[in-house]
Amino acid sequence: MDFSLYDLAVSVKQPLQPLAVSATTLLSLVVSLIDLLVEQKISATLWVKLPPEESWQAEIRRYHEQVGVPHTIYTCNIYPENPQVTTKGESTQEQSTAGNPVVSIPLAADSQLKREYFLLVLSPQFCGLILAHRTPIKRKQVDATIKTPPLLLLNSFEQSIIQRVLDGIKQALTYSLSLNPVAQTAAPNQMQTILSDLLTNWNFNCPACNPLLVGELLTKQIQHQEEIRGNINARHEVTATKALELQNQELLNTLNLKDDFVNELCQELRTPLAHMKMALTLLNSPQLKLSQRQRYLQMLNSECDRQNSLINGLLDLMQLDRSTEQTVQAIRLSDVVPGVVSTYQPLAQEKGIMLAYTVPEDLPAVSCPSTWLKQIVINLLHNSIKFTLSGGQVWVRSHLQGDYVQLEFRDTGIGIAHSEIPKIFDRFYHIRPPASEDVGGAGLGLTIVQQLLLRCSGSISVKSKLGEGSSFRVLLPVASPDNKL
């Protein structure tokens, strides 16, 4: 039978303390060792089992192609594969250099080496071992945040440890040969012959290492770790810089939006003030008739109402921007809508408008602060009455729609042009009625409604046609059972 090389290495009298490392650190150690072999032109026998990815295999090819001295490489693989011996002039899966053989050896599928990676260097000048073992994770201990188990690393130059690992490799090859893992291939005897010759002539003995070379290797390992750390820091700096640039851009966008808002606000404040100043100037005329005086006084009253509406709307928007998240409440529409409708009933009667509502009491409660829900109903109902002419009708209806309660405000008013619908939720946007009458308003009511609905996970949609009326449909989420009435 074969053995785990990791178990053999840690079973010596004075075993090394394994380190849990990442694949990046393991690759860095492999690169450092190959650097040393190439720079010092060390003629060696390599025993290799590394991940199949290009970054790992490129390091073994680098030694094979650049070292420029005799060497032999044995690459071990778990999957069945015909071993190949490459020499100069032969066309094989591994490209040979100066007649130096590269032998690819399949290991048994159930070999204990399947969870291990290693790079073993044997040379009269230097011998060293990099051995990593991937510990299996039991199903009950699987953490969803851990994609792969850690690697336990042993990095040794000790003769006893290296010799024991080398003996373990021999045992694994003997075990693989006994199972004849490529019995179904076209040339099984080739594999058997190669492994038999290799095991028969097995005479690898680990010499003592040159401490100068060991010191040089450790220096290279430190240099590679510093390079990796520098690259990581550089990436972090780039990430931090990009994040700062994004924050600055967002801040700049916010400032630009505020500038736009202030500009729009100044324009909105200027209009009623100009009208009021004009009305006051005309009222001072000595030739002013009584009917004209009444008209100018009415203009002053309307513009004062518009100014008051604008200021109140701005205060509402500022309060929304400054307010922290409201406590989520479960509230029934039947507790809010009837009261608001009764408040607006006298205004509707004065304009000659039929106002009615239908809100079933058995509808489930919605998740929305009561003050927000009341303001939504007030703003939408006020708009419906304002833009409906005498003899028109306004309905407020509600019903359950999936996980939401729909609240609809339908009127037979002047309607909204199709081109204007996308703009009606913009700040300070006024719907211009076809009649000469100015309906006033700050142009902030629908903006506030939309912002309130966004904050309580609701939504609003509009259907309208000029001369036929409008329908505003509000969807409010049904309150969860955890929210008590």
Domain spanning 231-323: which CATH class is it, in words?
Answer: mainly alpha
- Tens of each residue's pLDDT in the chain, 485 residues: 678 888 888 887 776 778 888 888 889 899 999 999 999 999 999 999 999 889 899 999 999 999 889 999 999 887 554 445 444 434 334 445 556 888 888 888 888 888 899 999 998 888 899 999 987 765 555 454 555 677 899 988 888 888 888 888 888 888 877 775 443 343 455 666 767 777 777 776 776 767 778 777 878 777 777 777 777 777 777 777 777 777 777 666 655 555 555 666 566 666 677 777 777 877 877 877 888 888 878 778 777 766 676 676 666 666 666 665 556 678 899 999 999 999 899 989 999 999 999 999 889 999 888 888 888 998 899 889 989 999 999 999 999 998 999 999 999 999 988 888 888 888 766 665 555 445 555 567 788 888 888 888 899 999 999 888 999 999 999 987 665 55
DSSP for 68-87? -S--EEEEEESS-----B--
One-letter identity of residue 18: P
Q: Tell me, what's the pLDDT at 182?
A: 46
DSSP code for 97: B
- Per DSSP, what are the bridge partners of residue 366? 331, 478
For position 267, what pLDDT does the model report? Answer: 61
Distances (CA, A) of 287 to 280, 292, 401: 14, 10, 63
Strand extents, DSSP E, 307-445: 330-331, 354-358, 366-367, 393-401, 404-411
- CB crowding 104-137: b at 16 or more within 10 Å, else e: bbbbbeebbbebbbbbbbbbeebbbbbbbbbeee
Nearest-5° angle of CA 29, CA 35, CA 39?
Answer: 155
Q: Which CATH number fits domain 5-209: 3.30.200, 2.60.40, 1.25.40, 3.30.870?
A: 3.30.870
Rounded Cα–Cα distance for residues 77 and 113 (Å): 9
Tokens 């100043």 correspond to 277
In 352-444, which residue ranges form alpha helices assigned H by DSSP?
370-386
Are the C-beta atoms of residues 182 and 80 closer than 8 Å to each other?
yes
C-alpha torsion angle, residues 331, 333, 336, 338 (rounded to 10):
-160
Q: Which amino acid is at 416?
A: I
Q: Do domains 5-209 and 325-485 have the same CATH topology?
A: no
Q: Supply the DSSP symbol for 482.
A: T
Please tell me the distance from the alpha carbon of residue 394 to that of residue 52, in angstroms, as a whole number. 74
pLDDT at 109: 82
280 alpha carbon, distance to own chain's centre: 60
Q: Hey, what CATH topology would domain 325-485 get?
A: Heat Shock Protein 90 (3.30.565)
From CA 463, how far away is CA 469, in angstroms rounded? 9
Partners of residue 463 on adjacent β-strands? 471
Domain assignments of the chain as residue spans, ordered by start: 5-209, 231-323, 325-485
DSSP at 288: -
Distance CA 466, CA 420 (A): 11
Q: Kindly provide the b/e burial profile for residues 357-376, where b requires at least 16 CB atoms within 10 angstroms of the residue's own CB.
A: bebeeebebbbbbeebbbbb
